[in-house]
Amino acid sequence: MALTIQSAQSIFSNTQVPSLIPATIALFDQLNVDDQLAYLWYAYTEMGKTITPAAPGVARLQLAESLLTQIKLMSPEEQTKVMRDLASRADTPISRSYGFFSVNTKLAFWYELGELMKQGLVTPIPVGYQMSAGVRLVLEETQKLDQGQQITVLRNTVVNMGFDTSELAPSSYPKAGAEPAFQRTTPTISSVKIEGVTEPAVLGYIEAMNADNFDAAIALFTADGALQPPFQKPIVGTAAIAKYMREEAQGLNMMPQQGICEVRGDGSKQLKVTGVVQTPWFGVTVGMNIAWRFLINPEGKIFFVAIDMLASPQELLQLTRVQ
């Protein structure tokens, strides 16, 4: 029986319990633009405190420099308009340039805008803003999330800002050739032990990812293999996965704790591993509880891996399968 991505997506399907993350983002999406910016501002003032100041990095900020310079030279009213355009995904030159940024450059751009606000060089949000009931509601919902879930909400809203450039030819705006590396703040975790798991492809994957050795990680996949990030569709094929990893998986600390492995009739194996992941943006201060769901083909290669954000820490121990 040939393995298909569609059937792979449903292994250990009880992992994807309804999550408060998409629910919170759906509430956020219903706010008007000024309310959205105000919500983000309040949320960021709380969560942003623990951002590792070195994370944006000089190289990453250089990629956003021309936009930041333009914004610094604007009047406060123009600055506010830029932020509204970004939040409403308007089609403007700045909103387009932003749309071409990688995820981490988008985060670095906003980080620096926040710094410029503190220095009084960019007008802060909100100016004379009165908090609406809608904003209060979304903030209350956000407080029910754990820290790892909260920073995921913040990251996803920042990623969705700007003009959607996915339909535009990539050549129309310059983009950085290579993604700058994050400086690792903690020593590389070299020997991985996962209670209940000895599968070489899984241990090798975690070890390679913890060393940012994406070539080694990719070599463990089948050519038609797929990786499904949290709340996203699968990314299919090794070239696409490699590009994604270089842009979004740098500097992550992966600390898998336990797992189970089941051999299937055709000799393939399905594994579920749970543990904690740290992003270089927050270092050791925020841990995200996640699950990896692997489908390994009979030859020992990764055909599919999904990464899910867990709804609660209790889910870390939820390793049985519904059947």
Residue 233 amino acid letter: K
Q: Which is nearer to ligand 45D, 111 or 221 (CB)?
A: 111
Cα(290)–Cα(277) distance, rounded to whole angstroms?
A: 7
Decide if 223 contacts 237 (C-beta within 8 A). Answer: yes
Taking alpha carbons only, the member of 83, 78, 120 closest to residue 98 is 83
Site for ligand 45D in 63-92 (CB under 6 A): none
Cis peptide leading into 126, omega within 30 of 0?
Answer: yes
Between 216 and 267, CB nearer to ligand 45D: 216
Name the token pair of 142.
């956000």
Closest CA to 201 of 273, 255, 257: 273
Task: Establish if 247 lies at the interface with ligand 45D (CB under 6 A).
Answer: no
What is the C-alpha to C-alpha distance for residues 121 and 320, in angstroms, rounded to an integer? 54
Could you say whether residue 279 binds ligand 45D (CB under 6 A)?
A: yes
- Minimum Å gap between C-beta 125 and ligand 45D is 5
Instruction: Rule CB under 6 A: say whether 252 interacts with ligand 45D.
Output: yes
Interaction between residue 217 and ligand 45D (CB under 6 A) = no
- Closest distance of CB 313 from ligand 45D, Å: 15
* Structure-block tokens of residue 72: 């610094």
- Phi/psi at 127 (5° precision): -95, 120
The reply to whether 145 sits near ligand 45D by the rule CB under 6 A is: no
CA nearest neighbour of 42 among 159, 162, 141: 141
Instruction: Based on the shown chain and the rule CB under 6 A, indicate whether residue 153 belongs to the binding site for ligand 45D.
Output: no
Q: What CA–CA distance (Å, rounded) separates 191 from 138?
A: 41
Residue from the set 28, 98, 281, 304 that interacts with ligand 45D by CB under 6 A: 281
Q: Counting contacts by CB under 6 A, is residue 125 touching ligand 45D?
A: yes
94 closest CA partner among 74, 116, 123: 74
The contact pattern for ligand 45D, residues 159-198, with x = CB under 6 A and - = no contact, is: ----------------------------------------
Give the total of residues touching ligand 45D (CB under 6 A). 31
Closest chain position to ligand 45D (CB) = 114
76-87 and 93-100 are packed helices; what angle lies between their axes, rounded to 10 degrees?
50
Pairing of strands 269-278, 288-296: antiparallel
Contact between 288 and ligand 45D (CB under 6 A)?
Answer: yes
* Rounded least distance, CB 253 to ligand 45D, Å: 10
Q: Which is nearer to ligand 45D, 140 or 266 (CB)?
A: 140
**Rounded Cα distance, 68 and 116, in Å:** 9
Contact 296, 320 (CB under 8 A): no
What is the smallest separation between the CB atom of 20 and ligand 45D, expressed in angstroms?
A: 14
**By CB under 6 A, residue 208 contacts ligand 45D:** no
> Which residues sit at the interface with ligand 45D, rule CB under 6 A?
37, 40-41, 44, 48, 51, 107, 110-111, 113-114, 117, 125, 151-152, 154-155, 158, 209, 229-230, 248-249, 252, 254, 277, 279, 281, 288, 290, 307
